[in-house]
Amino acid sequence: MFEKSKEFFSQAKLYIAGGVNSPVRAFKSVGLNPLFIKKAKGSKIYDEDGNEFIDYVNSWGPAVVGHANDLVVKKTEAVLKNGFSFGAPTVLETELAKRIVEAFDSIDVVRFVSSGTEAAMSAIRLARGVTRRDNILKFSGCYHGHSDGLLVGAGSGASTFGIPSSYGVPVDFAKHTLLAEYNNLDEVEDIFKKHGDTIACIIVEPVAGNMGVVTPKIGFLEGLRNICDEYGALLIIDEVMTGFRLTYGGAQHIYGVTPDITILGKVIGGGMPTACFGAKEDIMNQLSPEGGVYQAGTLSGNPIAMAAGITTLDILKSKKPYDEFKKNTAKIVSRAVGLAQKYSIPLSGESVGSMFSLFFRENKPKNYAEVSQCDLRLFSNYFAGMLERGIYLPPSQFEANFITMHHTLSDVENTLVVLEEVLEDIAAGKLYV
């Protein structure tokens, strides 16, 4: 079924490190070869072997209006013909910025960059520049891109100062990152009591999506806001995944919390590489050329990415798919958990808007430590079984599933039929990997 992909992967490995340009694509954690994708349209994705799948990866989030959406293709093509990049301002940048500013009360102005990694890195530099403090606080299991200070794991024993979670990150950089458990406000308070006058910012995913979908407990995000206010630190809400995906705007509107700096990416580029960070003017005017915090980018605000982003946001604004999203993901999760009970397989699930996760453990997790207790052997078999039957899922228990405007009720029903077959097989002891 996957012969061509297998061959293309061995060729890719001759020329590309590990055969992929981002590690999770390699399917290593589930012990399989990755699929080579030929094209995608709407809710479907097609591999080089000619197999069709219902897609729940959706480019890891950006494809919220469906793959190769006709209007996005048309508007982007028109811009493409005028040239790809000028390294000079275009009206398109103002147009996309205006839409973002109008959607977020917490943002007066933005700055565009080319990836979420770059946006998070720049936002943290800005927070450090504004506060003149060096330390930052992040949460275990939250992902904010792969810049040095953010590739940090929990220190041993009682130490709250981070240690590098990747070779190549200097210990001297990692020690400026303090770590706390998601949803544990007491721990954050304790850290601030000891180190509050050295902490420039807290950075947080308002709904965590990079340890599977984990929602904030009631009061958690407001608590972070209050702690930041008390100690003069900035609150950075990383909405790279959640922005324009959970609502037209961000998770900050759903949970009623106002950050100092917001980070956006994924959806705002409609599948093209763009991201941004934004805040009130008094913070943003500390960036160069007006202020002393340096930040730049050759391809920042790329016109093709701007056109894809503008059209994507306009579709979301007029079609308002958000209630439909919520219904469909809630249905998948509740029916999946019911099926798993029928076959005595431990499964829990979480959904928010167009994001959802199924966790192979009894109760839905509230933090990274709990997600880590999932049964990964069950997950791998579920993943492989679904793939063989035409459902393309993220190949890791720690990644969120996404739906798009083109995921119909029949896509959802078909997925659940397949899920039942796979769970029945697993319960009967059939192993896929």
Catalytic residue numbers read 143, 238, 266
Stretch that binds ligand PLP, among 46-54, 133-141, 203-211, 404-412 (CB under 6 A): 203-211
Distance from chain centroid for Cα 270: 14
CB of 132 to ligand PLP, least distance (A): 25
- Which segment (24-32, 138-146, 343-351, 382-390) binds ligand PLP by CB under 6 A? 138-146
Q: Does 399 bind ligand PLP (CB under 6 A)?
A: no
Please report how close the Cβ of residue 100 comes to ligand PLP at its closest, in angstroms. Answer: 16
Q: How far is the CB of 239 from ligand PLP (least distance, A)?
A: 7
Strands 261-264, 275-279: pairing is: antiparallel
139 binds ligand PLP (CB under 6 A): no
Q: How many CB atoms lie within 10 A of CB 12?
A: 17
Using N-to-C axis directions, what is the helix angle for 409-427 and 322-342, rounded to 10°?
A: 20
Tell me, by CB under 6 A, how many residues bind ligand PLP.
15
**C-beta neighbour count of 134 within 10 angstroms:** 12
**Is residue 103 within 8 Å of 182, Cβ to Cβ?**
no
145 makes contact with ligand PLP (CB under 6 A): yes
The residue from 34, 149, 196, 209 that contacts ligand PLP (CB under 6 A) is: 209
Confirm or reject binding of residue 149 to ligand PLP (CB under 6 A).
Answer: no
Q: Is 215 helix (H, G, I), strand (E, B) or coil?
A: coil
The stretch near ligand PLP (CB under 6 A) out of 10-18, 109-117, 300-308, 335-343 is 109-117
Q: CB of 275: closest distance to ligand PLP in angstroms?
A: 6
Give yes or no for residue 277 binding ligand PLP (CB under 6 A). no
Residue from the set 144, 176, 225, 253 that interacts with ligand PLP by CB under 6 A: 144
Are 333 and 350 within 8 A, CB to CB?
yes
Q: Does 135 bind ligand PLP (CB under 6 A)?
A: no
Q: Which residue in the shown chain puts its C-beta closest to ligand PLP? A: 116
The first and second tokens of residue 309, run together, are 């982003």
d(CA 41, CA 37): 12
Residues between 256 and 275 that touch ligand PLP (CB under 6 A): 265, 275
The Cα 424–Cα 137 span in angstroms is: 44
Min dist. Cβ of residue 350 to ligand PLP (A): 16
| Upstream peptide bond of 289 is cis (omega within 30 degrees of 0) | yes
Give the binding range for ligand PLP (CB under 6 A) out of 154-162, 167-175, 233-241, 348-356.
233-241
Number of helices (H), then strands (E), in the chain: 14, 16
Alpha-carbon gap, residue 144 to 275, rounded angstroms: 12
- CA 92 – CA 4 distance, rounded (Å): 40
Confirm or reject binding of residue 243 to ligand PLP (CB under 6 A).
no
Minimum Å gap between C-beta 147 and ligand PLP is 9
List, edge to edge, every strand of the sheet that includes 261-264.
109-113, 275-279, 261-264, 234-238, 199-204, 135-139, 177-180
- Residue 117 interacts with ligand PLP (CB under 6 A): yes or no: yes
Please state whether beta strands 135-139 and 177-180 pair in parallel, antiparallel, or not at all (unpaired): parallel
Q: Which residues bind ligand PLP (CB under 6 A)?
A: 115-117, 120, 143-145, 205, 209-210, 238, 240-241, 265, 275
